Amino acid sequence: MAAETWRTRDGWEVLIRPIAPGDEAAWVEFVKRLSPATRYKRGGTRPEELTPDLAHERVAPDPAREFALVAAASRAASSAIVGVARCRRHDDASWEFMLVVADDWQRRGVGRRLMAALDAEMSRRGVAAIEGVVLASNRGMLDFVQRLGFRVEPSESGPMFRRVVKEFAAGTG
C-alpha cells in the first residue's frame, strides 16, 4: 500500500500508512486518549487492559490474515496516531473491518480516508466483501458506513447490533 499524506486546514500533516511494530507506544497512547464513549462504541480495549503483549499483537498483524492502517498526525514537534483501521480475514471471501478515530479527530475526514485506503487494499487482495458489527445505537457510524456504500442489516449477535457489509466488484474497491 502506498502511503497517503494530506494537510488539514489547521496545519496538521496526516499520514495514512500500514501499522508497524515501532508504533507500540503511540498505539497505547492513542487507546488511552479515547473517551469511554468511543471505546464503548467501537468495542475497544480499556486502558487497564493495555498489556505489552496486546500492544505488540495490535501493531504486528499477521499479513496472511490481517491488515492494519494508522493515520498519524504531526505538526511541529508533536506527532500522534489519530485513527486506526484494520481488516481481519473472516472467511475465504470476506474480511471483518474495524475503525476507530480519536475523539478530537472525528468529523475531519480521517475515517473516510482510512476506509478508502482499506477498500483499496482489500480490492488489491481480491477480497469480495468487508463486513463489521456496529452497535444499533451508534447512528453516527451507521450513517457513515452507509455513505461509503455499506449495506446495513440485522446481526446474528442480536438486536443491539447491526451487521454492515460492503461488497466489491471483481478487482474494484
Read off the CATH number of the domain in which 116 is found. Answer: 3.40.630.30
Task: Give a yes or no: residue 124 inside a domain.
Answer: yes
Task: Give a yes or no: residue 172 inside a domain.
Answer: no
Task: Give a yes or no: residue 87 inside a domain.
Answer: yes
Q: What is the average per-residue pLDDT within 42-55?
A: 72
Cell (9 digits) for 151: 449495506
Residue 157: give the domain boundaries: 4-167
- H helix runs in 42-138, sequence order: 52-59, 110-124
Task: Give a yes or no: residue 173 inside a domain.
Answer: no
Prediction pTM value: 0.89
Cell (9 digits) for 145: 458506513
Task: Give a yes or no: residue 60 inside a domain.
Answer: yes
Q: How much is the pLDDT for 44?
A: 59
Ramachandran angles phi, psi of 126, nearest 5°: 80, 25
Task: Give a yes or no: residue 49 inside a domain.
Answer: yes
Query: b/e per residue, 66-94, with b = 16+ CB within 10 A?
Result: bbbbbbbbeeeeeebbbbbbbbebbeeeb
Q: How much is the pLDDT for 171?
A: 47
- H helix runs in 34-163, sequence order: 36-41, 52-59, 110-124, 139-147
Work out how many domains the chain is built from and give that number. 1
